Amino acid sequence: MAYSLPRLDGKRCLITGGLGFIGSNLAHSLVAIGAEVSIADACIDPYGWNFANIREIKDRVSFTKADIRDEKAMAAAVKGQDFIFNCAAQVSHIDSMTDPFLDVDINCRGNLVLLEACRRHADKAKIVYAGTRGQMGSLHYSPADEEHPDNPTDIYGANKWAAEKYHLVYNSAYGIRATSLRINNTYGERNQMRHAKYGIMNWFIRLALEGKEIQVFGDGSQTRDYNYITDVVDAMILAAQSEKSNGKYYLLGSGNEIKFMDMVKSVIKAAGSGSYKLVPWPADRKAIEIGNFFVTYEKIRDELGWEPKTSLDEGLRKTIAFYRERKKEYW
């Protein structure tokens, strides 16, 4: 089922974490379909905020440096909004294990501050939460669907799970329309490439473009599911404007289960440089590794009409062309 994005002319959209990878790409798409976009981002390192991400649209979006944990700032940010795309987060799996209290502060308390601001000041706004595959942990069957039990293997996954439930509770208890998309591994333009803490495929693209060696933990035989950024952004916009999505969560998938090793080979091939080497799993990564991961996206396809449009080859080609041109802004 082919879909096209709706026009959102004059609709007011707030993006928390809007200077980051997913939030800034969303800002580009929302501007293109006529929305009035505001960005609230706390600009916290080592997350992916980067003013270069909104370079082309900086005169068409408004930006406020604001933290989702700040009640006053969130009250001001949510007032008058039609849609709120909630992308702000502590995003590193590894850091959530070394500093679990920071993770709970941003990913649990911060989301509650935002939701309370909506309850008091913007109860007509529709909220789309950027959930994660990490909420599900190791799979018991594959492809997994929305009925699959959730057993996150790290604090990030556990707290993102709790925050998804907060959104759905505000929907059921207060009638504040909210939906969550459990986003897969996502790659593409405007992702941070300064370190390997998260966004691993983009980190590998940098290494390959620099002609460096990519270290693959174990034998690289675990499978994964990768989505190109524009497909993810489209899903968020479709979820925002649909009433069917209220109070629900959806899995995003690619339809293409691929071995980690084959993803690495595809990156090297598309870049035309780089190499790889198998190395033993570091203990901190092994402890939170989930094994094979692949989901079906049937529910969001059937209810909202979304499906991924970009193949891995095409997505890699576009991503690599972007970073070849703009690497000075990203590493």
Ligand X SMILES: NC(=O)c1ccc[n+]([C@@H]2O[C@H](COP(=O)([O-])OP(=O)(O)OC[C@H]3O[C@@H](n4cnc5c(N)ncnc54)[C@H](O)[C@@H]3O)[C@@H](O)[C@H]2O)c1
Q: Is 34 left (phi over 0), alpha (psi -120 to 50) or beta?
A: left
Q: Measured from the CB atom, is 171 or 185 closer to ligand X?
A: 185
In this chain, which residue has its C-beta nearest to ligand X?
Answer: 20
Tokens 């004059």, residue located: 10
Residue 17 found at the interface with ligand X (CB under 6 A): yes
Residue 122 found at the interface with ligand X (CB under 6 A): no
Q: Measured from the CB atom, is 110 or 315 closer to ligand X?
A: 110
Q: Measured from the CB atom, is 90 or 241 closer to ligand X?
A: 90
In sequence order, which residues have a C-beta less than 8 Å from that of residue 24 and are 6 or more positions away?
A: 18, 39, 50, 53, 54, 190
Interface residue with ligand X among 27, 106, 238, 267 (CB under 6 A) is 106
DSSP 34-85: T-EEEEEE---TTS---GGGGGGGTTTEEEEE--TT-HHHHHHHHTT-SEEE
The distance of closest approach from Cβ of residue 211 to ligand X in the complex, given in angstroms and rounded to an integer, is 25
Interface residue with ligand X among 199, 253, 308, 315 (CB under 6 A) is 199
SS3 call for 131? strand
Residue 41 found at the interface with ligand X (CB under 6 A): yes
In sequence order, which residues have a C-beta less than 8 Å from that of residue 101 and are 6 or more positions away?
A: none
Residue 20 found at the interface with ligand X (CB under 6 A): yes
Interface residue with ligand X among 8, 14, 15, 22 (CB under 6 A) is 22
Q: Measured from the CB atom, is 171 or 186 closer to ligand X?
A: 186
Q: How far is it, in rounded angstroms, from Cα 64 to Cα 70?
A: 12
Both structure tokens of 246: 């209220």
Residues in contact with ligand X by the rule CB under 6 A? 16-17, 19-23, 41-44, 47-49, 67-69, 87-89, 91, 106, 110, 130, 132, 160, 183, 185-186, 192, 199
